Structure 1
Amino acid sequence: MSSLPPLTRETIWAILTDTIDDATLNRLLWHYLGYRQNLTDGNWDTGAVVPEWRDEYPEPPDFIASRPATVKLTRSIPAAHKQLLKEDLGFAGYKVSELVPRKTRRATAANWLLSQLHAQEPTAPEAEV
């Protein structure tokens, strides 16, 4: 797996503005969910994946193509973090004409990743931003 962009607010904005491609977005989600791919045989190591994800998705899902996986991602965002895109980034959402499944799934992914960033912040260098 090639290197991933760092988990920063700039990366979250890049997801929202579609400057990070869907494949990279999926890889970011997989990484923070704990999925690791063995580069030798291509198999997925799910040892670090929490059981509720590992049991349902023994291989990481394509979050852009899978509504059920995105719904599960939405439900896994802590209630206190549901509005982070608006509260932390000032993201006002997409225009009605832009509301297509791909964009809304990317926004869900961005919110979940921002939630992960907030969970890390007490020890992360990003906390100073």
Structure 2
Amino acid sequence: MPPLTDDTLWAILNDEMDDDAVQRLVWHGLGYRETSDGWDASAVEPVWADRYPDPPHFIESRPATVQLTRSIPPADKQLLKEELGFKGYTVDQLVPRLTRRATMVSWLLSYRKQGAVGEQG
């Protein structure tokens, strides 16, 4: 799994990283762990594990992306602008796939800010 560096986050925003790899970063942050028998959600917060016993596909699922957005603390909602200087996508880029990737980066920035980087492995 790639580290949560600014370069990694820009690669997500610039659509230079595979969707599956992006989702795996978020799944890991949420606590999902892949096992030989499927997914272990024992470390996942109940609000996620109850609704998604297996990790949700954020690129494909608007409801999961909405829940991810709501889970970002209000104080962290502007981290895309504040930490990365991201100005948003152009009008022709405003497609669900890219905007959901931006949501995942926003969540990952909040996760990183909370000091969870060391938990990645």
TM-score by length of 1: 0.88
Rounded to whole Å, the distance in 2 between the matches of 1:31 and 1:49 is: 9
Rounded to whole Å, the distance in 2 between the matches of 1:5 and 1:78 is: 24
Can you list the C-alpha shifts for 1:19-52, whole angstroms capped at 9, x where unaligned? 11101011111100000011x23x2111110000
Cα deviation, residue 8, structure 1: 1.4
Cα deviation, residue 9, structure 1: 1.5
Rounded to whole Å, the distance in 2 between the matches of 1:116 and 1:110 is: 10
Cα deviation, residue 118, structure 1: 0.7
CA RMSD, 1 decimal? 1.3
Letter in 2 for 1:45: D
2:111 is aligned with 1:116: yes
> For residues 42-121 of structure 1, what are the structure 2 equivalents within 5 Å?
43-120=38-115
Larger RCO: Structure 1 or Structure 2 (Cα < 8 Å, ≥ 6 residues apart)? 2
| Residue number in structure 2 paired with 1:29 | 26
Can you list the C-alpha shifts for 1:50-76, whole angstroms capped at 9, x where unaligned? 000000000001000000000000000
Rounded to whole Å, the distance in 1 between the matches of 2:7 and 2:109 is: 10
TM-score by length of 2: 0.93
Identity value in percent: 61
Mark the runs of 5 or more structure 1 residues left unpaired by the alignment: 125-129
Moved beyond 4 Å, runs of 4+: none
